[in-house]
Amino acid sequence: MLWQVITCHGNANKGDIMADNKKLIAEGKTVLGIEFGSTRIKAVLTDLEHNPIASGSHTWENRLDNGIWTYTLDDIWGGLQDCYQDLSKDVEKQYGEKLVKVGAMGFSAMMHGYMAFDKNDTLLVPFRTWRNTITGEAAEKLTKLLDFNIPQRWSISHLYQAILNGEDHVKDITFFTTLAGYIHWQMTGEKVLGVGDASGMFPIDSATCNYNAAMLDKFDELIADKNFAWKLRDILPKSLPAGAAAGTLTAEGAKKLDPTGTLQAGIPVCPPEGDAGTGMVATNSVAERTGNISAGTSVFSMVVLEHDLNKVHPELDLVTTPSGEAVAMVHCNNCTSDLNAWVGLFREFAKATGNDIDDNTLYGTLYRNAIENGDANCGGLLAYNYFSGESITGFDEGRPLFVRRPDDKFNLANFMRTHLYTALGALKAGNDILLKEEGVKVDYFYGQGGFFKTKGVGDRVMAAALNAPIKLMETAGEGGPWGQAILAAYMLQKEDGETLKDYLTNKVFKSGNVQTQEPVAEDVKGFDEFMKDYNAGLSIERAAVDSLK
């Protein structure tokens, strides 16, 4: 361990904590994690005991450009710099210190997607995010070729689809990566990726924490007739496990992050990870039979596997933890967007009546009413939250939809409960395959994300959907950037031979307030009844997609 930790928040008073933090900041004995989420870029600064001491954020939205969901380079860099400046202001406001140096740092982002560059480091086509469902042909052919589920959002699907489309830029590729890999490269000059994020580009061999060599060969054989100047293993970023050194912040990188020139170069940077990996870390879910769920704009669940699955399932992704263990993921493109849109409608109504209600009150009132007064099966009401396609249920496009029978129990509580349920409909469909069909065992799921913000609602609905205990931690509210800061701290402070699992158990989560929601039998039965309509009504969603262009 490089430094002796001088803070202990357990018994210290606020004045002592602030003084200790001020000293740590001045001496650069802090850790920084920054994550690019779907709707927000967030930075978290921690002490060496992993306590968050400052934060910053920037709100952004992806854009649909010529049929492609993307963020521009200006979006990326402007957002990162604004987020970092927001953090710097928070540090200076709280502690009267400028953020000049930190002990270690790391970057994480939404997994998958496609950023391809030529020999001059020029981005060849606009960033294609995970949200795009335009690679169906490639994903299907690669899944069959490799006997391994390759989802549409994976980077290799985007690359192969570009080849199938005959896109001219492919011949010029010298490097392609994810958003986190791109940021790390620009910060350090290193073309590397954490193994968890790498596992969303191409299948990983957990024994080596590297790309599956046999599958790499199969892909190169598949495209041999194209006579490209590159081989796949040569244009992928190097895969690194958690704890590995992944470069240092260069002077150019420091200037890109902090245009004021205050931040110093030379800071150690840990391997960049995907949001799935940071979610596992932030919820202490890297051991076998543990699971975690991140529920916000999109939703995914992950279970660390004890053994291989019996067969390939297109609904289940096989990725890894940041230290390389095999994980089954159920990933859904849609979660809270439609739910938030309906709450926004009620906000408009309240404002029109002269009542400007704050979000906590608005969401809390609607959500609690849904749980307290709604029927467990939503009274027969049905909705689909498909803002975009949903591969688990076979959709390349989506149309948000609400439908009911004339004699269903239509009231506010059931209406909101329906939208809470449908936010998890595709997630439940995928997990029914994993937990029921494959018989995978999971002791509990840790939850994080905006879906869980109203206590006693999101966790109760999730427990009903998965028929498993849902645990929420106070620290999990910090989410991905906190998880990335922990990974940076692990790189900086780990003992010889200390695994990530042991580090998390013994040094990060040795104490803390955990709230557990057990499944309520009536809710579980009601959710199963709702899913019968959900599955039967997919033809209605299909008709909406086909009819409303």
pLDDT (tens digit per residue) in 429-448: 999 999 999 999 999 999 98
- Residue 196 lies inside a defined structural domain of this protein: no
Q: Which residue in 546, 504, 526 sits closest to 418, CA to CA? A: 526
User: What string of H, E and C letters represents the secondary structure of 38-66?
Assistant: CCEEEEEEECCCCCEEEEEEEECCCEEEC
Looking at the predicted structure, is the pLDDT value of residue 355 above 70?
Answer: yes
In terms of Cβ atoms closer than 10 Å to its own Cβ (0-12, 13-18, 19+), residue 537 is middle
179: left (phi over 0), alpha (psi -120 to 50) or beta: alpha
pLDDT (tens digit per residue) in 310-336: 999 999 999 999 999 999 999 898 999
- Residue 15 lies inside a defined structural domain of this protein: no
Looking at the predicted structure, is the pLDDT value of residue 76 above 80?
Answer: yes
Q: Which helix (H) or strand (E) segment is 301 a member of?
A: strand 299-304
My answer on whether 418 and 499 are in the same domain is no
Local structure of residue 146 (DSSP, 8 states): H
Q: Which residue in 277, 402, 280 sits closest to 338, CA to CA? A: 402
CATH code for the domain of 475: 3.30.420.40
CA 484 from chain center: how many Å?
12
- Residue 181 lies inside a defined structural domain of this protein: no
My answer on whether 433 and 415 are in the same domain is no
- Residue 458 lies inside a defined structural domain of this protein: yes
Most confident listed range (352-356, 391-395, 446-450): 352-356
- Residue 483 lies inside a defined structural domain of this protein: yes
- Residue 41 lies inside a defined structural domain of this protein: no
My answer on whether 434 and 297 are in the same domain is yes
Answer for the pair 103, 153: CB distance below 8 angstroms, yes or no. no
Q: Helices 412-422 and 521-536: crossing angle, nearest 10°?
A: 80
Local structure of residue 390 (DSSP, 8 states): B
pLDDT (tens digit per residue) in 236-252: 999 999 999 999 999 99
My answer on whether 368 and 304 are in the same domain is no
Answer for the pair 391, 333: CB distance below 8 angstroms, yes or no. yes
- pLDDT above 70 covers a percentage of the chain that reads 97
Domain coverage including residue 543? 337-422+522-547
pLDDT (tens digit per residue) in 7-50: 344 455 777 889 999 999 999 999 999 999 988 999 999 999 99
My answer on whether 405 and 475 are in the same domain is no
In the structure, what pLDDT confidence band is assigned to residue 261 with cuts at 50, 70 and 90?
very high
Q: Helices 337-352 and 359-373: crossing angle, nearest 10°?
A: 110
Distances (CA, A) of 346 to 115, 289, 360, 384: 39, 40, 13, 19
- Give residue 475's pLDDT: 54
Looking at the predicted structure, is the pLDDT value of residue 350 above 50?
Answer: yes
Q: Which residue in 412, 384, 386 sits closest to 534, CA to CA? A: 384
- Residue 416 lies inside a defined structural domain of this protein: yes
Answer for the pair 196, 179: CB distance below 8 angstroms, yes or no. no
Q: Provide the pairing of β-strand 104-109 with 31-36.
A: parallel
My answer on whether 390 and 432 are in the same domain is no
pLDDT (tens digit per residue) in 198-233: 999 999 999 999 999 999 999 999 999 999 999 999
- Rounded CA separation 68/408 (Å): 39
pLDDT (tens digit per residue) in 121-165: 999 999 999 989 899 999 999 999 999 999 999 999 999 999 999
Read off the pLDDT of each residue in 249-266 and give the average, rounded to a whole number. Answer: 98
My answer on whether 416 and 346 are in the same domain is yes
My answer on whether 311 and 432 are in the same domain is yes
- Give residue 17's pLDDT: 87
Looking at the predicted structure, is the pLDDT value of residue 1 above 70?
Answer: no
Q: What is the pTM of this model?
A: 0.84
Q: Provide the pairing of β-strand 115-117 with 175-177.
A: antiparallel
Token pair 């920037």 is at which residue? 58
- Rounded CA separation 270/227 (Å): 36
In the structure, what pLDDT confidence band is assigned to residue 278 with cuts at 50, 70 and 90?
very high
Identify any residues that bridge with 325 across adjacent strands, giving them in sequence order.
none
Q: Encoding tokens for residue 158?
A: 């985007």
- Residue 494 lies inside a defined structural domain of this protein: yes
My answer on whether 322 and 346 are in the same domain is no
My answer on whether 347 and 315 are in the same domain is no
Q: Which residue in 212, 231, 258, 60 sits closest to 159, CA to CA? A: 231
Token pair 């849904």 is at which residue? 370
- Rounded CA separation 183/523 (Å): 43
My answer on whether 341 and 390 are in the same domain is yes
Looking at the predicted structure, is the pLDDT value of residue 511 above 90?
Answer: no
Average of per-residue pLDDT values in the chain: 94
CA torsion, points 335, 318, 63, 534, in degrees to nearest 10?
A: -30
- Give residue 107's pLDDT: 98
Looking at the predicted structure, is the pLDDT value of residue 450 above 90?
Answer: no
Buried b (16+ CB within 10 A) or exposed e, 402-437: eebeeebbeeebbbbbbbbbbbbbbbbbbbbbbbee
My answer on whether 323 and 354 are in the same domain is no
The tally of domains found in the chain comes to: 2
